[in-house]
Amino acid sequence: MKLKLSVLLALLLTLSLLAGCGAPSRDQSNSGREDGKLHIVTTIFPGYDFTRQIVGDDATVTLLLPPGTESHSFEPTPQDIITIQNCDVFLYVGGVSDSWIKGILNSMDTSRMTVLSMMDMVDVVEEEIKEGMEHDHDHEEDQDHQHSDGDHHEEEETQYDEHVWTSPVNAKRITQAISDTLCRLDESNAPVFRENTEAYLAKLDELDTTFRQIVQNGKRKLLIFGDRFPFRYFVDEYGLDYYAAFPGCSTDTEANAKTVAFLVDKVKSEHIPVVFYLELSNQKMADTISESTGAKKLLFHSCHNLSRDELERGATYLELMEQNAEHLKEALG
């Protein structure tokens, strides 16, 4: 409810600003821009990084999500909405966490804007609830029972895992789809875009090969996450199994004692050498599991968002995933 109200207020304020100042007109292509470049807005880091690898300096790429921000609870500001309104290409994920985008796009004239969803570029899978995993939907259902007055006409929508970029194979598909669109919109720079794309896809191929070799040479196939788990596409691609505290899009950060005990038992019974945590996590669960079992605590970066330091030093998807590869080698060794 808080999110919906925030979006509505932001929309009202933005519409008043646009009505007072007038939104700048824009041609279908980048030829209408003073700088002659496409202006591309992406909601999260993976789309931002894939796009900047394609365009180099020949387009303007804006990352909407501020560094260090939890993407699943992101609330757009009026300025964010204006930024979207004035772009040529808008790239977002497309899942439940992006539900705020539908209202914003419906309030705009998007006829001169190209809107892309990363979830439309790959085959998606339903969000998975594994044994021992806490599911915050259980709490939501309890609240529904308390406040519904017996009205259950709305069917629950199928929730798909949003973290499609965590598989390098999917990253290739997404990069290619973005590149094809940008080449169509900016024919003058299309040869450069295609050349950059081919070079980047080759690097993603090398990353994919690295992960396959690590898994092939590993002694085990099971990963333990004392955190959320946004790596469904990754483990599916490489034939790995996992246990975690929460599904990928959970808003919970504190696991109950039963969940922690389950993960501790798994680490002990399966002789797991590493327990993983996510970027921007408080790491409390991983700390508890590590202290209880002697397992080493390591970061497995989902690349969903970066810290300010990571963004300022120019961290890339490839760099972060290569770090994941080193940590995966320890976990499977």
Question: Does the pTM of the predicted model rise above 0.95?
Answer: no
Check whether 75 has a pLDDT greater than 50: yes
Tallying the residues shown for the chain, one arrives at 333
Do residues 112 and 260 share a domain?
A: no
In this prediction, residue 33 carries a pLDDT of 63
State the residue range of the domain holding 309: 215-332
- pLDDT per residue as tens digits for the range 224-280: 999 999 999 999 999 999 999 997 666 666 778 999 999 999 999 999 999 999 999
Higher-pLDDT residue of 296 and 17 is: 296
Q: Which of 324, 325, 265, 323 is nearest to 289 (CA)?
A: 265
Assigned domain for 148 exists: no
Assigned domain for 314 exists: yes
Cβ-contact 290, 275 below 8 angstroms: yes
Tokens of 252: 């919970």
Q: Which of 222, 280, 287, 291 is nearest to 255 (CA)?
A: 287
Q: Identify the three-state secondary structure at position 134.
A: coil
Do residues 66 and 116 share a domain?
A: yes
Mean pLDDT for the chain? 86
Identify the burial level of 332 via C-beta atoms within 10 angstroms of its C-beta, where 0-12 means exposed, 13-18 middle and 19 or more buried: buried
In this prediction, residue 35 carries a pLDDT of 77
Q: Which residues of 18-32 are buried (b: 16+ CB within 10 A; e: fewer)?
A: beeeeeeebeebbee
In this prediction, residue 34 carries a pLDDT of 65
- Tell me the average pLDDT across 3-20: 46
How many whole angstroms separate alpha carbon 58 and alpha carbon 123? Answer: 30
Assigned domain for 234 exists: yes
Please state the domain count of the chain.
2
- pLDDT per residue as tens digits for the range 119-140: 999 999 999 999 988 765 444 4
Higher-pLDDT residue of 141 and 32 is: 32
Q: What is the CATH number of the domain that holds 186?
A: 3.40.50.1980
Do residues 183 and 248 share a domain?
A: no
